[in-house]
């Protein structure tokens, strides 16, 4: 196990910069998720840690070693890819043991490691089978086991669940979380799926166009997004983002007026974007309530999502399950000042703090 430090790591392909000055310390035993849309630089960063991509500038340390110029085989990392990359002609036992045999490890030690990994991942009964005889989830567990037997300093996982169906992804998330708890090794995990990031990570690194947008614990990022990109990317259903301006100490957008409590860190007339998550819109006929007309209703099982308009402004409202709501119905809704987020319309950055 080891700490991983990236210092001003940059990657350029000719005149195209894929990763801009990436700085991050991943603590020993930490589970860090790189999250962002396709093309944001998250996989490139992971591959630079692995040594599969040469960095343009900066340094990478794993533990006390500067590994910037080392070959992948000398970094003591293990990588799990989106594609399982198993040897189809070898048994599962042989797939797990192959990398250790290449390193000329003692056969008894190889057998002990393979059987320990198989037991941890529930693969004992499949060791004599070939990959084609396994399901997708079982093959992904073999890929995890092949990394596990190496006892690496760091696990690197590049979208390992993308090829699995939704139900199996949930089960494999649980497997990976349990595996991390048992082995206690640092893990760096790349995904575009925010649910995977929120459920697995100790910390999330959100990326866009090669730049880090925010680093924080899952609920910190969810509760205090640093900018409009993070606010819109994190959360499902996504945050309501409404363009408007500050007027008389409140927020105004068309016919919608929202009180901001005791004050706001933005001057009169400032153009801003107001954010509020669908689950933080209250449904109550209280003083200051706003009429909300439902256009579309989505029953999600335990919750109900209503999509409609409030004084001409499109909103999503998420409530506990309601079997009585219907499209074209009207509700009275309110906005809690302590649940609101304000962002600069010009820069997209968070306007730090509605003053209380």
Q: What are the tens digits of pLDDT across the range 109-127?
A: 999 999 999 998 889 999 9
Q: Which of 185, 119, 112 is nearest to 152 (CA)?
A: 185
Adjacent-strand bridge partners of 75: none
Q: Is residue 36 part of a domain?
A: yes
pLDDT band at 338 (very low <50, low <70, confident <90, very high): confident
Q: Is residue 320 part of a domain?
A: yes
Residue 321's pLDDT is 93
Average the pLDDT over 317-325 and give the result: 92
Statement to judge: residues 40 and 164 lie in one domain: yes
Residue with tokens 């350029």: 12
Distance in Å from the first CA to the final CA of the chain: 45
Q: For residues 208 and 37, what is the distance between their CA atoms, to the nearest angstrom?
A: 7
136 burial type by CB count under 10 A (0-12 exposed, 13-18 middle, 19+ buried) = middle
Task: Specify the 3-state DSSP secondary structure of 127.
Answer: coil
Which residue among 178, 196, 229 closes a domain? 229
Q: For residue 233, give every residue at least 6 positions away whose Cβ sits within 8 Å of its Cβ, in sequence order, or none.
A: 35, 36, 37, 194, 206
| CATH number of the domain where residue 185 is located | 3.40.50.300
Q: Is residue 73 part of a domain?
A: yes
Statement to judge: residues 104 and 209 lie in one domain: yes
Q: Poorest-confidence range of 79-88, 235-244, 269-278?
A: 79-88
When mean pLDDT is compared over 160-164, 239-243, 283-287, the highest value belongs to: 239-243
Q: Is residue 92 part of a domain?
A: yes
CB atoms within 10 A of CB 335: 22
| CATH number of the domain where residue 334 is located | 2.40.50.140
Residue 171's pLDDT is 86
Q: For residues 9 and 211, what is the distance between their CA atoms, to the nearest angstrom?
A: 11
Is the confidence at residue 40, as pLDDT, over 90? yes
Which residue among 229, 258, 292 closes a domain? 229
Q: Is residue 41 part of a domain?
A: yes
Is the confidence at residue 8, as pLDDT, over 80? yes
Statement to judge: residues 264 and 185 lie in one domain: no
Q: For residues 131 and 133, what is the distance between their CA atoms, to the nearest angstrom?
A: 5
Residue 109's pLDDT is 94
CB atoms within 10 A of CB 6: 20
Q: Which domain holds residue 194?
A: 4-229
Statement to judge: residues 177 and 263 lie in one domain: no
Q: For residues 164 and 168, what is the distance between their CA atoms, to the nearest angstrom?
A: 6
Residue 268's pLDDT is 83
Q: Poorest-confidence range of 55-64, 196-205, 253-262?
A: 253-262
Which residue among 167, 202, 229 closes a domain? 229
Q: Is residue 234 part of a domain?
A: no
Number of domains in the chain: 2
Statement to judge: residues 203 and 268 lie in one domain: no
Residue with tokens 């100790």: 202
Chain mean pLDDT for the chain: 91
Q: What are the tens digits of pLDDT across the range 150-168?
A: 889 999 999 988 888 888 8
Q: For residue 265, give every residue at least 6 positions away whose Cβ sits within 8 Å of its Cβ, in sequence order, or none.
A: 342, 351, 352, 353, 354, 355
pLDDT more than 70, % of the chain: 97
Q: For residues 286 and 290, what is the distance between their CA atoms, to the nearest angstrom?
A: 9
Q: For residues 106 and 65, what is the distance between their CA atoms, to the nearest angstrom?
A: 26
Residue 84's pLDDT is 80
Which carries the bigger pLDDT value, residue 294 or residue 136?
A: 294
pTM of the model: 0.91
Statement to judge: residues 157 and 263 lie in one domain: no
Q: For residues 269 and 291, what is the distance between their CA atoms, to the nearest angstrom?
A: 25
pLDDT band at 169 (very low <50, low <70, confident <90, very high): confident
Statement to judge: residues 8 and 151 lie in one domain: yes
pLDDT band at 265 (very low <50, low <70, confident <90, very high): low
Q: For residues 158 and 331, what is the distance between their CA atoms, to the nearest angstrom?
A: 44
Tokens in use for 256?
Answer: 């919608």
Statement to judge: residues 54 and 198 lie in one domain: yes
Statement to judge: residues 129 and 262 lie in one domain: no
Statement to judge: residues 289 and 338 lie in one domain: yes
Residue 356's pLDDT is 40
Q: For residues 138 and 213, what is the distance between their CA atoms, to the nearest angstrom?
A: 35
Q: Is residue 272 part of a domain?
A: yes
Q: For residue 184, give every residue at least 6 positions away whose Cβ sits within 8 Å of its Cβ, in sequence order, or none.
A: 1, 29
Q: Is residue 8 part of a domain?
A: yes
Statement to judge: residues 222 and 250 lie in one domain: no
Separation of CA 78 from chain center: 21
Is the confidence at residue 267, as pLDDT, over 70? yes
Statement to judge: residues 90 and 175 lie in one domain: yes
């Amino acid at each position: 196990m080891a700490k991983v430090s990236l210092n001003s790591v940059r990657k350029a392909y000719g005149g195209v910069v894929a990763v801009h000055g990436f700085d991050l310390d991943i603590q020993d035993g930490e589970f860090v998720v790189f999250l962002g849309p396709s093309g944001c630089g998250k996989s490139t960063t992971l591959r630079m840690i692995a040594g599969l991509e040469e960095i343009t500038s900066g340094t990478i340390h794993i533990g006390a070693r500067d590994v910037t110029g080392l070959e992948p085989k000398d970094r003591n990392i293990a990588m799990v890819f989106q594609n399982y990359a198993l040897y189809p002609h070898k048994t599962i036992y042989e797939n797990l043991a192959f990398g250790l045999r290449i390193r000329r490890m003692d056969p008894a030690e190889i057998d002990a490691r393979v059987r320990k990994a198989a037991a941890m991942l529930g693969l004992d009964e499949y060791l004599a089978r070939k990959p084609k005889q396994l399901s997708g989830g079982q093959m992904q567990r073999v890929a995890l086991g092949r990394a596990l037997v190496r006892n690496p300093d760091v696990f690197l996982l590049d979208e390992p669940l993308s090829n699995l169906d939704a139900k199996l992804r949930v089960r494999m998330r649980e497997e990976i979380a349990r595996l991390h708890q048992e082995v206690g090794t640092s893990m760096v995990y790349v995904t575009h799926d925010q649910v995977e990031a929120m459920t697995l990570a100790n910390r999330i690194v959100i990326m866009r166009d090669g730049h880090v947008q925010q680093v924080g614990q899952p609920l910190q990022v969810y509760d205090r997004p640093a900018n409009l990109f993070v606010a819109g990317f994190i959360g499902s259903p996504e945050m309501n983002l409404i363009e408007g301006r500050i007027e008389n100490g409140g927020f105004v957008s068309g016919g919608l007026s929202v009180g901001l409590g005791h004050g706001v860190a933005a001057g009169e007339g400032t153009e801003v974007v107001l954010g509020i998550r669908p689950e933080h819109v209250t449904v109550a006929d209280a003083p200051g309530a706003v009429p909300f007309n439902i256009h579309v209703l989505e029953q999600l099982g335990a919750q109900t999502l209503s999509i409609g308009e409030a004084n001409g402004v499109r909103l999503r409202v998420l409530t506990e399950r309601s079997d009585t709501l219907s499209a074209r119905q009207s509700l009275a809704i309110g906005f809690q000042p302590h649940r609101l987020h304000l962002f600069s319309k010009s820069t997209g950055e968070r306007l730090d703090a509605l003053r209380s």
